[in-house]
Chain A
Amino acid sequence: MKQFISITALLLCTAQAFAQYTFFEPKESFAIEVSLDNTTLKRLPVYRNAVSALAVSGDHILGGTSAGEGLSPFIFVASLSRRELTHMLDLGKAIPGQRSVAAGFCKGGSVFYAGTIANNEAGGHIMRITLGSNGQPVVKDLGIPVPKEGIFSLTANDAGTMLYGISYPKGIFFSYDVARGKVTTFNNLVPSDKDLRQLTHEYAMEPEEFLGKALVTDQQGRVYGSLPVNKLFRFDPQTQQFTILDNYLPEVWGRRTLGQVEAWARAADGKLYGGNRGDGQLFELDPATLKMKNLGKPVMMNRLRALSFARDGKLYGIGGGQPGYAHLFSYNTTEGFRDYGNPQFTLVAPGLEQGIAWRGFQIGSMAASADGKYVVMGEDEALSQLLIFAVEENK
């Protein structure tokens, strides 16, 4: 059978046997079909299912999607144990006019927060999602923090009492006091006219390529992210002050303009790990010293779209992306990087009981379960699915 799957491989198998790749095959892995158009099955329809936000809560995978222009996204829940989509909520019915769950999910206690980008001019909303006992998502609209702006990135402090975000397309930093519903905005990160001219004219870039795509808090509750050109910032909620770390993102010579952090993860020891979209480097930032260490690139391509720690202590991530292909990788200090290639797991669903292979080419999001056992990846496609694998415990 494989001969048809890879015709070229068959014809040239002798010559290229040494060059063939194998797919990553952990003991437990599977794909969940969450998208399928025109079906009686519970599935997300075409162009409304790119998984842009992910979290795992117990058995429930919580997802938020991005839709095509003029279309409405979904909040959905899938079951890890049942390996199926269990709930889907058309966000257009809860908060009309939204196009993308662009930022999230950040956890505050037992609830989740996310930010949207709208189809209309009113602006993106902050929303709070709670899961019912059977996993049913309930969305509460917390309003528009920055009028006429979407929410491009969002994080929460560990207590879940404060949210911090960056707006789109201007890049306005804001904080949101959950208890009081109070928004405070800051223009400190908004690109200067000179930088904007360079970014949008000379380099033909769009705001989604240079605004800080991801935010993280350290153990002291300080907020970190990126801003153009190739800078990191730290916001201290105590003093309400920003510290700009100039030229701090790792760069390939001549490509400073492309610097953008699009993923963060915080390690148990408090160190922060970030992914630079520009050239796909992973870096380590010590909040205590503000020293940055460039850890290098897991794959040749640019992009580093997602990061999550798992129970084996390794940092898992997604390197690469359009126009190339996503690779799942892991990193720790003893092994360094390990590239697992395009993840390909078996998808079983009603009507596909025999199973089919599902290969992830474009992956936009990742989350690990609280115990670090499961790593869940969400595709960024016209018809996106979930790819999941279990991580072995360290012995």
Chain B
Amino acid sequence: MIKLLHNIWYKTAGLTAAAMMVMLAEAGAQDAGLIGKAHFQFIEYPDFPEANSTWGDIGFNPKDQCVYVGVTNHRNKIGWYVYNTVSKSIGLKGFISDLGHLRPFQWQGKIHTKVVFDRQGAVYFGTDGGESREEYLMDHPKGYAGGYLMKWEPAQNKLVNLGMTLQYESIKDVDVDPFTGKIYAITYPQVHFIVYDPATNNMQDLGRLGSAHVPRVMFTDQWGNCYYVDWRQRLVKYEKSTGKLVFSPHSLPAFEGTPGEHIITGITGYAKDHKKGEIYFVTYGAKLVRFRPTEHGIGAVEDLGGVYEAEGRERWRYYVPNLNIGANGKLYYIIGGHGNFAKKDRTLLMEFDPETRRHRTLHEFAESELSEATGSDIRDNEGNIYFAGRKQLQYDKNSVHAQKQLDNGISVPFIFKFNPDKQLQ
């Protein structure tokens, strides 16, 4: 029996070693130098044992130099966390239902929107049903009441409920015009583009822009105009000077053969190069794009190629729900999640140089280290880059993370902090 077990271990170890050789060979083919774990930090969320996920709801506030994250149990509790990038401390400010004075029938499943900031440092986000009760009960009294726009005032540690956008609808993403304070939002499942002015309480519903899926990302330019995509993956701009939508006549770049369900999903992450006045984004068809916005009209779009290339695999088939830009001007993103990996069960941290258009695999993570990361354009004053990450573990009732059960396993959320140019530990 012992001999049998030894043989199994030996063969398994042999396979693992072989797989590692292949992995390293593949990495070496794209990689001029791996970045080690000293460049990373995994910052877990305290005081919320059943927290199990985050959904792009992360942002960096340059005013107070804090990273804000909404962390959920994916049922009815959303913890509001602040990580101070100067003191390197993280704390739970409270739960959204309590801070926002919500009743049980106004339950919220998660924050899906990114966290954005106005010029005074006020913090904005929207809430989301985010679970089967919204998905399937729809417009029933037992279903989802609708998502709220929320404002956090850091100086007062106070959450202000700015009210609902559309009844029964979640809010998938928001952005803010830093000059006027107007909030842009996109709703789920009807894909309605909303413009809300907190100063006057005036809310405009500019109508449905999508098809059967809601693109998850909107973003603003340096003038405060807001961008989204329609079902043809054409940029749609809310031009603040006219208060109207401007539709690009052209679809964003896509690989030949990209399925329709990838086209209609639009943009999944973006990052802004403020010095150059350029915005980079990644599509659900795995294209990297450089966009040069103009104050009026749609700006120029440049196809930078794919996020990753592996022989024998369709170039559109990579999932990148995040994008950041380093102080060095290079793009950083993490491929993988929701069962969609570039390499089997491996999550890849990538670097892309927009000038040379070369990408490198900086590090490969097992799902038990990092299974998925979200977040767009989050970098602190020290050049550290942040993602809302999580790792996937097999369910074990004796695990210290047993309360973080999600699906059939355990999902442990954390802030993934990374610096490409220096070690953090």
A40 touches B249 (CB 8 A): yes
Contact string, A135-146, partner B, CB cutoff 8 A, digits 1/0?
A: 000000000000
B190 touches A361 (CB 8 A): yes
A1 touches B138 (CB 8 A): no
A10 touches B211 (CB 8 A): no
Residue of B248, B261, B339, B340 near A356 (CB, 8 A) is B261
The stretch of A197-205, A318-326, A363-371 that contacts the partner chain: A318-326
User: Which chain A positions have C-beta within 8 A of B212?
Assistant: 5, 344, 356-359
**Chain B minimum-CB-distance residue to A11:** B407
**How far does the alpha carbon of A358 sit from the alpha carbon of B189 in the complex, in Å?**
12
A272-321 residues at the B interface, CB under 8 angstroms = 300-301, 320
Interface assignment of A38: CB less than 8 Å from any CB of chain B: yes
Residue of A323, A344, A355 near B166 (CB, 8 A) is A323
**Chain B minimum-CB-distance residue to A5:** B213
User: Which chain B positions have C-beta within 8 A of A252?
Assistant: none
A8 touches B130 (CB 8 A): yes
B139 touches A8 (CB 8 A): no
The stretch of A12-20, A110-118, A159-167, A239-247 that contacts the partner chain: A12-20
Interface assignment of A131: CB less than 8 Å from any CB of chain B: no
**How far does the alpha carbon of A8 sit from the alpha carbon of B406 in the complex, in Å?**
11
**Chain B minimum-CB-distance residue to A341:** B138
Interface assignment of B135: CB less than 8 Å from any CB of chain A: yes
Contact string, B112-146, partner A, CB cutoff 8 A, digits 1/0?
A: 00000000000000000011101110111000000
**How far does the alpha carbon of A40 sit from the alpha carbon of B140 in the complex, in Å?**
42
Interface assignment of A381: CB less than 8 Å from any CB of chain B: yes
**How far does the alpha carbon of A382 sit from the alpha carbon of B187 in the complex, in Å?**
14
B207 touches A361 (CB 8 A): no
**Chain A minimum-CB-distance residue to B262:** A1
Interface size for A (C-beta < 8 A) is 46
A37 touches B168 (CB 8 A): no
A357 touches B139 (CB 8 A): no
B207 touches A47 (CB 8 A): yes
A382 touches B139 (CB 8 A): no
User: Which chain A positions have C-beta within 8 A of B168?
Assistant: 323-325
* With A46-B247, A352-B232, A383-B208 as contacts: A8 and B262 at CB distance below 8 Å: no
Distance to closest chain A CB from B370 (angstroms) = 17
User: Which chain B positions have C-beta within 8 A of A8?
Assistant: 109, 130-132, 134-135
* With A38-B248, A46-B247, A382-B206 as contacts: A1 and B139 at CB distance below 8 Å: no
User: Which chain B positions have C-beta within 8 A of A81?
Assistant: none
**How far does the alpha carbon of A15 sit from the alpha carbon of B136 in the complex, in Å?**
13
Contact string, B95-121, partner A, CB cutoff 8 A, digits 1/0?
A: 000000000000001000000000000
Interface assignment of B333: CB less than 8 Å from any CB of chain A: no
Interface assignment of A354: CB less than 8 Å from any CB of chain B: yes
Distance to closest chain A CB from B285 (angstroms) = 11
User: Which chain A positions have C-beta within 8 A of B3?
Assistant: none
**How far does the alpha carbon of A13 sit from the alpha carbon of B232 in the complex, in Å?**
29
Contact string, B246-276, partner A, CB cutoff 8 A, digits 1/0?
A: 1111010000011111111100000000000
**How far does the alpha carbon of A356 sit from the alpha carbon of B249 in the complex, in Å?**
19
B130 touches A357 (CB 8 A): no
User: Which chain B positions have C-beta within 8 A of A13?
Assistant: 407
Residue of B135, B189, B209, B260 near A383 (CB, 8 A) is B209
* Complex A-B: 21 CB contacts under 8 Å: A4-B319, A4-B340, A5-B265, A8-B134, A11-B407, A12-B74, A12-B132, A13-B407, A16-B132, A21-B136, A36-B247, A37-B247, A324-B168, A351-B232, A351-B251, A352-B232, A355-B260, A357-B211, A362-B190, A381-B208, A382-B206
Give A residues with C-beta under 8 Å from B.
1, 3-16, 19-21, 36-40, 46-47, 300-301, 320, 323-325, 344, 347, 351-352, 354-359, 361-362, 381-383
Give B residues with C-beta under 8 Å from A.
53, 74, 109, 130-132, 134-136, 138-140, 166-168, 189-190, 206-209, 211-213, 230-232, 245-249, 251, 257-265, 284, 319, 338-340, 406-408
